[in-house]
Amino acid sequence: MTAAKINRLRFLVNAVLFMIIFGLVLEIAGGVASGVYTILVAVFSLVVNFAFSRLADSRVEANPLYYLYRYVPLLIFIVLPIGYKIYSAWGDSGLGLSGWIILFTWVLSYIVPIFLLLYLRAQLTPETT
């Protein structure tokens, strides 16, 4: 595979990651804030993810800064809000059936695709040609 094809595939993977993260932030923030604030938070998270992605891509090799730039926005905008939603939904008797359904929906709709795309993106390097 040529470097141009790899770069094009990396761009597409990044675009899909940004769309998934944007949708998740819209969904989570929509339950907390009004419409304008929800859009502002989602756009802010998208800009931060894009900026950190560009910083990670500027690294020549996968050093600790690469992983910091790649995974800190994921932790801040994905893992922590979902963890908070699960924590707030947890009652005295546990999560309950509806809570488990919501949890599995988020995991299958957002978490698994995000991690699979991150893995795919990590494999798309010119060294794999």
3-state SS track over the chain: CCHHHHHHHHHHHHHHHHHHHHHHHHHHHHCCCCHHHHHHHHHHHHHHHHHHHHHHHCCCCCCHHHHHHHHHHHHHHHHHHHHHHHHHHCECCECHHHHHHHHHHHHHHHHHHHHHHHHHHHHCCHHHC
Matching residue, tokens 């999560």: 95
Average pLDDT, the chain: 78
Task: Please give the pLDDT value at position 91.
Answer: 66
Higher pLDDT, 123 or 62: 123
Task: Please give the pLDDT value at position 128.
Answer: 45
pLDDT classification of 87: cutoffs 50, 70, 90: confident
Domain boundaries, the chain: 3-122
Q: Considering only 16-20, 59-63, 83-87, 122-126, which range has the smallest mean pLDDT? A: 59-63
Assess whether pLDDT exceeds 80 at residue 12: yes
